[in-house]
Amino acid sequence: MAAYIVYQEQLPGLLKLWARRYGVHVPVDTGNGLYDFSPWSENTVIAWDYDVTVNPLKRYLLPPREELITFDLTDYSAKGVFEAPRQLLFGVHPYDLNAIAQMDQLMEAGSPDRNYLNRRENTVIFAMEPMRVAENSFWPSMGGGRSDIGFDLFWTRIGPATFFVEVGSKTGEDLLMAGGELPSASAPQHDAARRQREKIRESSDLSSLNVPWEELPKILSKSWNSPIWRERSTMCLACGSCNLVCPTCYCFDIKEEVDESLKTGRRWREWDACMLPSFALVAGGHNFRSRAAERYRHRYFRKGKYIYDLIGELGCVGCGRCIKACTARIANPLAVYNQLSEEAAR
Protein backbone atom coordinates (compact mmCIF):
# COMPACT_ATOMS: atom_id res chain seq x y z
CA MET A 1 0.00 0.00 0.00
CA ALA A 2 1.24 3.46 -0.88
CA ALA A 3 2.61 5.63 1.95
CA TYR A 4 3.39 9.32 1.91
CA ILE A 5 5.04 11.87 4.14
CA VAL A 6 3.09 14.84 5.46
CA TYR A 7 4.49 17.65 7.61
CA GLN A 8 2.44 19.09 10.39
CA GLU A 9 2.53 22.58 8.86
CA GLN A 10 0.62 21.23 5.86
CA LEU A 11 -2.26 20.10 8.01
CA PRO A 12 -4.18 23.33 8.61
CA GLY A 13 -4.46 23.79 4.85
CA LEU A 14 -5.55 20.21 4.30
CA LEU A 15 -8.09 20.31 7.14
CA LYS A 16 -9.62 23.42 5.63
CA LEU A 17 -9.98 21.67 2.28
CA TRP A 18 -11.52 18.58 3.88
CA ALA A 19 -13.90 20.66 5.97
CA ARG A 20 -15.43 22.03 2.79
CA ARG A 21 -16.75 18.61 1.93
CA TYR A 22 -17.11 16.90 5.28
CA GLY A 23 -17.94 17.58 8.87
CA VAL A 24 -14.45 16.96 10.28
CA HIS A 25 -14.18 15.61 13.82
CA VAL A 26 -10.93 15.48 15.77
CA PRO A 27 -9.76 14.54 19.28
CA VAL A 28 -9.57 17.44 21.70
CA ASP A 29 -8.61 17.90 25.34
CA THR A 30 -11.80 18.54 27.32
CA GLY A 31 -9.95 19.27 30.57
CA ASN A 32 -8.90 17.19 33.57
CA GLY A 33 -6.94 14.90 31.33
CA LEU A 34 -10.07 13.78 29.48
CA TYR A 35 -10.47 13.69 25.74
CA ASP A 36 -13.29 13.52 23.27
CA PHE A 37 -13.99 13.91 19.58
CA SER A 38 -15.28 17.32 18.63
CA PRO A 39 -16.08 19.18 15.40
CA TRP A 40 -12.98 20.79 13.89
CA SER A 41 -12.83 24.50 13.15
CA GLU A 42 -9.84 26.69 12.40
CA ASN A 43 -8.99 27.39 16.02
CA THR A 44 -9.44 23.84 17.28
CA VAL A 45 -6.40 22.47 19.04
CA ILE A 46 -6.03 18.82 18.06
CA ALA A 47 -4.94 16.55 20.91
CA TRP A 48 -2.45 14.52 18.88
CA ASP A 49 -1.28 12.64 21.94
CA TYR A 50 -4.67 11.78 23.40
CA ASP A 51 -4.73 8.38 25.12
CA VAL A 52 -8.40 7.43 24.79
CA THR A 53 -11.63 9.41 24.43
CA VAL A 54 -14.28 9.24 27.12
CA ASN A 55 -17.00 8.37 24.62
CA PRO A 56 -16.57 5.81 21.89
CA LEU A 57 -16.88 6.85 18.26
CA LYS A 58 -19.99 4.76 17.69
CA ARG A 59 -22.13 7.86 18.10
CA TYR A 60 -21.09 8.99 14.61
CA LEU A 61 -22.43 5.78 13.09
CA LEU A 62 -25.10 4.72 15.56
CA PRO A 63 -26.24 7.92 17.26
CA PRO A 64 -27.60 7.71 20.82
CA ARG A 65 -30.96 8.50 19.30
CA GLU A 66 -31.76 8.00 15.63
CA GLU A 67 -35.06 8.32 13.85
CA LEU A 68 -36.04 5.22 11.87
CA ILE A 69 -39.46 5.97 10.44
CA THR A 70 -42.21 8.53 10.36
CA PHE A 71 -45.78 7.30 10.26
CA ASP A 72 -49.18 8.64 9.40
CA LEU A 73 -52.07 7.52 11.56
CA THR A 74 -54.73 8.47 9.03
CA ASP A 75 -53.78 5.77 6.52
CA TYR A 76 -51.17 3.85 8.50
CA SER A 77 -48.46 4.56 5.98
CA ALA A 78 -44.84 4.70 7.14
CA LYS A 79 -41.65 5.99 5.58
CA GLY A 80 -38.02 5.27 6.39
CA VAL A 81 -35.89 8.14 7.65
CA PHE A 82 -32.25 8.19 6.60
CA GLU A 83 -29.75 10.68 7.81
CA ALA A 84 -26.16 10.19 6.81
CA PRO A 85 -24.03 13.33 7.07
CA ARG A 86 -20.75 13.33 5.20
CA GLN A 87 -18.22 13.18 7.97
CA LEU A 88 -14.51 12.66 8.42
CA LEU A 89 -13.13 11.26 11.65
CA PHE A 90 -9.47 12.21 12.01
CA GLY A 91 -7.33 10.50 14.63
CA VAL A 92 -9.12 7.21 15.21
CA HIS A 93 -7.00 4.82 17.25
CA PRO A 94 -6.59 1.20 16.08
CA TYR A 95 -8.78 -0.29 18.82
CA ASP A 96 -11.64 2.00 17.82
CA LEU A 97 -10.99 1.18 14.19
CA ASN A 98 -11.37 -2.49 15.11
CA ALA A 99 -14.58 -1.75 16.95
CA ILE A 100 -15.99 0.04 13.91
CA ALA A 101 -14.87 -2.77 11.59
CA GLN A 102 -16.71 -5.21 13.85
CA MET A 103 -19.87 -3.20 13.85
CA ASP A 104 -19.64 -2.92 10.06
CA GLN A 105 -19.69 -6.70 9.79
CA LEU A 106 -22.50 -7.18 12.29
CA MET A 107 -24.70 -4.48 10.78
CA GLU A 108 -24.14 -5.82 7.28
CA ALA A 109 -24.89 -9.44 8.21
CA GLY A 110 -28.33 -10.95 7.77
CA SER A 111 -30.80 -8.16 7.26
CA PRO A 112 -28.48 -5.21 6.54
CA ASP A 113 -29.04 -2.15 8.72
CA ARG A 114 -29.33 0.60 6.11
CA ASN A 115 -29.38 3.42 8.64
CA TYR A 116 -26.00 2.36 9.94
CA LEU A 117 -24.55 1.42 6.58
CA ASN A 118 -25.61 4.68 4.95
CA ARG A 119 -23.86 6.60 7.69
CA ARG A 120 -20.82 4.39 7.37
CA GLU A 121 -20.66 4.89 3.60
CA ASN A 122 -20.63 8.64 4.11
CA THR A 123 -17.90 8.49 6.75
CA VAL A 124 -14.21 8.84 6.00
CA ILE A 125 -11.87 7.43 8.62
CA PHE A 126 -8.34 8.65 9.16
CA ALA A 127 -6.80 6.32 11.70
CA MET A 128 -3.88 7.34 13.85
CA GLU A 129 -1.25 5.45 15.78
CA PRO A 130 -1.55 6.45 19.47
CA MET A 131 1.41 8.19 21.03
CA ARG A 132 0.59 6.95 24.49
CA VAL A 133 -1.50 4.21 25.94
CA ALA A 134 -4.22 4.99 28.45
CA GLU A 135 -3.77 3.67 31.96
CA ASN A 136 -6.69 1.24 31.60
CA SER A 137 -6.13 0.18 28.02
CA PHE A 138 -5.05 -3.32 27.10
CA TRP A 139 -5.72 -3.39 23.39
CA PRO A 140 -2.40 -4.79 22.25
CA SER A 141 -3.19 -8.04 24.06
CA MET A 142 -6.74 -8.25 22.65
CA GLY A 143 -5.61 -8.59 19.06
CA GLY A 144 -6.57 -4.95 18.66
CA GLY A 145 -3.10 -3.59 18.12
CA ARG A 146 -3.45 -2.95 14.48
CA SER A 147 -6.26 -3.04 12.02
CA ASP A 148 -5.54 -3.41 8.35
CA ILE A 149 -9.04 -2.68 7.23
CA GLY A 150 -11.59 0.03 7.69
CA PHE A 151 -9.42 3.12 7.30
CA ASP A 152 -9.06 5.53 4.42
CA LEU A 153 -5.71 6.78 5.71
CA PHE A 154 -3.52 5.61 8.59
CA TRP A 155 -1.34 8.27 10.22
CA THR A 156 1.76 7.54 12.30
CA ARG A 157 3.89 10.32 13.73
CA ILE A 158 7.53 9.45 13.06
CA GLY A 159 9.12 12.77 13.95
CA PRO A 160 8.22 15.86 15.94
CA ALA A 161 6.35 17.27 12.96
CA THR A 162 6.43 14.42 10.47
CA PHE A 163 3.63 11.99 9.68
CA PHE A 164 3.91 8.73 7.82
CA VAL A 165 0.57 8.25 6.08
CA GLU A 166 -0.58 4.94 4.63
CA VAL A 167 -3.33 4.86 2.08
CA GLY A 168 -6.31 2.59 2.74
CA SER A 169 -8.66 3.73 -0.01
CA LYS A 170 -8.91 5.85 -3.12
CA THR A 171 -11.05 8.36 -1.21
CA GLY A 172 -8.28 8.62 1.37
CA GLU A 173 -5.58 9.12 -1.24
CA ASP A 174 -7.60 11.79 -3.07
CA LEU A 175 -8.18 13.69 0.15
CA LEU A 176 -4.51 13.46 1.03
CA MET A 177 -3.55 14.92 -2.36
CA ALA A 178 -6.23 17.59 -2.22
CA GLY A 179 -3.58 20.24 -1.63
CA GLY A 180 -1.09 18.91 -4.18
CA GLU A 181 1.22 15.96 -4.67
CA LEU A 182 3.14 14.67 -1.62
CA PRO A 183 6.46 12.80 -1.39
CA SER A 184 6.33 9.01 -1.09
CA ALA A 185 7.76 7.56 2.11
CA SER A 186 11.28 6.14 1.90
CA ALA A 187 12.35 2.75 3.23
CA PRO A 188 13.84 4.26 6.42
CA GLN A 189 10.57 6.10 6.99
CA HIS A 190 8.64 2.82 6.69
CA ASP A 191 11.01 1.45 9.30
CA ALA A 192 10.51 4.43 11.55
CA ALA A 193 6.75 3.92 11.45
CA ARG A 194 7.10 0.28 12.33
CA ARG A 195 9.42 1.09 15.23
CA GLN A 196 7.01 3.71 16.51
CA ARG A 197 4.23 1.11 16.55
CA GLU A 198 6.36 -1.45 18.36
CA LYS A 199 7.32 1.11 20.97
CA ILE A 200 3.69 1.85 21.70
CA ARG A 201 2.84 -1.84 22.05
CA GLU A 202 5.71 -2.37 24.47
CA SER A 203 4.68 0.55 26.66
CA SER A 204 1.37 -1.19 27.29
CA ASP A 205 2.76 -4.60 28.16
CA LEU A 206 2.30 -3.98 31.88
CA SER A 207 -1.44 -4.36 31.80
CA SER A 208 -2.22 -7.30 29.63
CA LEU A 209 -4.11 -10.47 29.29
CA ASN A 210 -2.23 -13.44 30.72
CA VAL A 211 -3.28 -15.81 27.92
CA PRO A 212 -3.35 -15.36 24.14
CA TRP A 213 -6.66 -13.69 23.28
CA GLU A 214 -7.61 -16.59 21.02
CA GLU A 215 -7.99 -18.72 24.15
CA LEU A 216 -10.72 -16.59 25.70
CA PRO A 217 -13.74 -18.13 23.97
CA LYS A 218 -12.61 -21.58 25.12
CA ILE A 219 -11.98 -20.35 28.65
CA LEU A 220 -15.41 -18.76 28.77
CA SER A 221 -17.16 -21.90 27.63
CA LYS A 222 -15.86 -23.53 30.79
CA SER A 223 -16.77 -20.59 33.00
CA TRP A 224 -20.56 -20.46 32.93
CA ASN A 225 -20.78 -21.52 36.56
CA SER A 226 -17.77 -19.63 37.83
CA PRO A 227 -18.30 -17.88 41.19
CA ILE A 228 -16.81 -14.76 39.63
CA TRP A 229 -20.12 -13.63 38.16
CA ARG A 230 -21.86 -13.47 41.48
CA GLU A 231 -18.84 -12.22 43.41
CA ARG A 232 -18.17 -9.26 41.17
CA SER A 233 -21.72 -8.33 40.30
CA THR A 234 -22.97 -7.93 43.86
CA MET A 235 -21.73 -4.35 43.66
CA CYS A 236 -23.34 -3.65 40.28
CA LEU A 237 -25.50 -0.53 40.27
CA ALA A 238 -27.19 -1.60 37.04
CA CYS A 239 -26.40 1.82 35.62
CA GLY A 240 -25.45 0.63 32.14
CA SER A 241 -22.44 2.97 31.92
CA CYS A 242 -20.18 0.10 30.87
CA ASN A 243 -22.47 -0.53 27.89
CA LEU A 244 -22.77 3.12 26.93
CA VAL A 245 -19.04 3.81 26.77
CA CYS A 246 -18.19 0.55 25.02
CA PRO A 247 -17.32 0.94 21.33
CA THR A 248 -18.58 -2.54 20.51
CA CYS A 249 -21.93 -2.37 22.35
CA TYR A 250 -24.71 -1.57 19.92
CA CYS A 251 -27.96 -2.83 21.44
CA PHE A 252 -30.89 -0.49 21.12
CA ASP A 253 -34.46 0.07 22.18
CA ILE A 254 -37.19 1.36 19.86
CA LYS A 255 -39.60 4.09 20.94
CA GLU A 256 -42.14 6.35 19.34
CA GLU A 257 -44.25 9.43 19.82
CA VAL A 258 -47.19 11.05 18.09
CA ASP A 259 -46.92 14.69 16.98
CA GLU A 260 -49.25 17.36 18.36
CA SER A 261 -51.41 17.02 15.25
CA LEU A 262 -52.22 13.48 16.45
CA LYS A 263 -52.00 12.49 12.79
CA THR A 264 -48.31 11.86 12.34
CA GLY A 265 -45.51 10.59 14.48
CA ARG A 266 -42.05 9.18 14.56
CA ARG A 267 -40.28 6.06 15.73
CA TRP A 268 -36.64 6.10 16.75
CA ARG A 269 -34.05 3.85 18.24
CA GLU A 270 -31.88 4.73 21.18
CA TRP A 271 -29.00 3.04 22.92
CA ASP A 272 -30.04 0.38 25.37
CA ALA A 273 -27.93 -1.59 27.82
CA CYS A 274 -28.00 -5.28 28.67
CA MET A 275 -26.89 -4.38 32.21
CA LEU A 276 -30.25 -2.70 32.85
CA PRO A 277 -32.78 -4.97 34.60
CA SER A 278 -35.46 -4.09 32.03
CA PHE A 279 -33.43 -5.35 29.08
CA ALA A 280 -34.88 -8.87 28.95
CA LEU A 281 -38.08 -8.17 30.86
CA VAL A 282 -41.32 -9.10 29.09
CA ALA A 283 -44.99 -8.42 29.69
CA GLY A 284 -46.37 -10.20 32.71
CA GLY A 285 -43.15 -9.60 34.64
CA HIS A 286 -41.04 -12.52 33.45
CA ASN A 287 -37.38 -11.58 33.16
CA PHE A 288 -35.00 -13.76 31.19
CA ARG A 289 -32.00 -12.27 33.04
CA SER A 290 -33.42 -11.07 36.31
CA ARG A 291 -30.26 -11.29 38.42
CA ALA A 292 -27.31 -8.91 38.25
CA ALA A 293 -24.97 -11.89 37.99
CA GLU A 294 -26.77 -13.12 34.87
CA ARG A 295 -26.62 -9.73 33.20
CA TYR A 296 -22.97 -9.28 34.18
CA ARG A 297 -22.09 -12.69 32.83
CA HIS A 298 -23.98 -12.07 29.61
CA ARG A 299 -21.94 -8.95 28.94
CA TYR A 300 -18.61 -10.77 29.31
CA PHE A 301 -19.80 -13.73 27.30
CA ARG A 302 -20.98 -11.46 24.55
CA LYS A 303 -17.57 -9.76 24.41
CA GLY A 304 -15.44 -12.82 24.93
CA LYS A 305 -17.35 -15.55 23.11
CA TYR A 306 -20.59 -14.76 21.27
CA ILE A 307 -19.11 -12.10 18.98
CA TYR A 308 -16.08 -14.31 18.43
CA ASP A 309 -18.35 -17.18 17.39
CA LEU A 310 -19.92 -14.89 14.79
CA ILE A 311 -16.92 -13.13 13.27
CA GLY A 312 -13.77 -14.66 14.73
CA GLU A 313 -12.75 -11.57 16.69
CA LEU A 314 -13.25 -10.70 20.33
CA GLY A 315 -16.07 -8.29 21.06
CA CYS A 316 -13.78 -6.46 23.47
CA VAL A 317 -11.12 -4.37 21.78
CA GLY A 318 -9.41 -3.48 25.06
CA CYS A 319 -9.99 0.27 25.12
CA GLY A 320 -10.55 0.23 28.88
CA ARG A 321 -13.36 2.78 28.80
CA CYS A 322 -15.70 0.59 30.85
CA ILE A 323 -13.06 0.24 33.57
CA LYS A 324 -13.03 3.97 34.04
CA ALA A 325 -16.78 4.47 33.63
CA CYS A 326 -17.78 1.98 36.33
CA THR A 327 -18.12 3.71 39.68
CA ALA A 328 -18.48 0.32 41.37
CA ARG A 329 -15.07 -0.63 39.90
CA ILE A 330 -16.27 -4.01 38.72
CA ALA A 331 -16.46 -3.53 34.95
CA ASN A 332 -12.93 -4.67 34.24
CA PRO A 333 -12.69 -7.16 31.37
CA LEU A 334 -8.97 -7.62 31.89
CA ALA A 335 -9.42 -8.57 35.54
CA VAL A 336 -12.39 -10.82 34.73
CA TYR A 337 -10.72 -12.63 31.86
CA ASN A 338 -7.45 -13.01 33.75
CA GLN A 339 -9.20 -14.44 36.78
CA LEU A 340 -11.15 -16.84 34.56
CA SER A 341 -8.00 -17.99 32.83
CA GLU A 342 -6.42 -18.70 36.21
CA GLU A 343 -9.49 -20.63 37.32
CA ALA A 344 -9.42 -22.61 34.07
CA ALA A 345 -5.73 -23.44 34.52
CA ARG A 346 -6.32 -24.78 38.00
Partner 1 sequence: MTPLKEFTPYAPRAATLVRKETLSDYVTLFEFNQDNGRPLAHKPGQFIQVSVYGVGEAPFSISSRPKAGSNSFEIAVRKIGAVTTALHNLEAGDKVGIRGPFGSSFPVQEFVGKDTIFVAGGLGYIPLRSLLRYQLRHRDEFGRIIVMIGCRSPEERIFINEIEDLAGRNDVEVLETVDCSNDSWTGNVGVITTLLPKVELDVENTYVAMVGPPIMYKFVIGSCVSDQCISPDRIYVSLERKMKCGLGKCGHCQINGISACVDGPVFRYTDIDLLKEAL
Cβ 218 to ligand FAD, closest distance in Å? 32
Minimal distance, residue 282 CB to ligand FAD, in Å:
3
Query: Out of partner 1, ligand SF4, ligand FAD, none, which partner does residue 94 contact, by CB within 5 to 8 A per kind?
Result: none
Q: Which is nearer to ligand SF4, 157 or 299 (CB)?
A: 299
Distance CA(305)–CA(297), nearest Å, equals 11
Q: Which residues contact 246 (CB under 8 A, 6 or more apart)?
A: 56, 319, 321, 322
From the list 134, 104, 124, 115, the residue with the least C-alpha distance to 34 is 134
Q: Pick from 19, 34, 69, 238 the residue near ligand SF4 by CB under 6 A.
A: 238
Which x/- pattern, by CB under 8 A, does the window 103-142 give for partner 1? ---xx-xxx-xxx-xx--xx--------------------
Q: What's the chain look like in SS3? A: CCEEEEEHHHHHHHHHHHHHHCEEEEEEEEECCEEEEEECCCCCCCCCCCCCCCCCHHHHCCCCEEEEEEEECCCCEEEECCCCCCEEEEEECHHHHHHHHHHHHHHHCCCCCHHHHHHHHCEEEEEECCCCCCCCCCHHHHCCCCCCCCCCEEEEEEECCEEEEEECCHHHHHHHHHHCCCCECCHHHHHHHHHHHHHHHHHCCCCCCCCCHHHHHHHHHCCCCCCHHHHHHCCCCCCCHHHHCCCCCCCEEEEEEECCCCCEEEEEEEECCCCCHHHHECHHHCECCCCHHHHHHHHHHHHHHHHHHHHCCCCCCCCCHHHHHCCCCCCCHHHHHHHHHHHHHC
Q: Which of residues 261-300 bind ligand SF4 (CB under 6 A)?
A: 275
Q: Among partner 1, ligand SF4, ligand FAD, none, what binds residue 267 when CB lies within 5 to 8 Å by partner kind?
A: partner 1
The contact set with ligand FAD (CB under 6 A) reads: 282-283
Q: How far apart are CB 68 and partner 1 at their closest, in Å?
A: 4
Does 242 bind ligand SF4 (CB under 6 A)? Our answer is yes
| Chosen residue from 31, 284, 345, 346 binding partner 1 by CB under 8 A | 284
Least separation in angstroms between CB 277 and partner 1:
12
Determine the length of the chain.
346
Among 43, 286, 345, 346, which residue interacts with partner 1 (rule: CB under 8 A)?
286
77 to 106: interface string for partner 1, x by CB under 8 A: xxxx-x-x-x-------------------x
Query: Cα angle at 242 between 199 and 317, to 5 degrees?
Result: 35
What does 88 interact with, of ligand SF4, partner 1, ligand FAD, none (CB < 5 to 8 A by kind)? none
Q: How far is the CB of 267 from ligand FAD (least distance, A)?
A: 12
Q: Looking at 201, 230, 291, 302, which residue binds partner 1 (CB under 8 A)?
A: 302
Per CB under 6 A, does 106 bind ligand SF4? no
Among 124, 153, 193, 330, indicate the residue that binds ligand SF4 (CB under 6 A): 330
Judged by the rule CB under 6 A, the positions of this chain that interact with ligand SF4 are 236-242, 245-248, 275, 303, 316-322, 325-326, 328, 330-331, 333
* Residues of the shown chain interacting with partner 1 in the complex, contacts defined by CB under 8 A: 68-69, 71, 73, 75-80, 82, 84, 86, 106-107, 109-111, 113-115, 117-118, 121-122, 224, 250-258, 265, 267, 269, 272, 274, 279-284, 286, 288-289, 298, 301-302, 305-306, 309-310
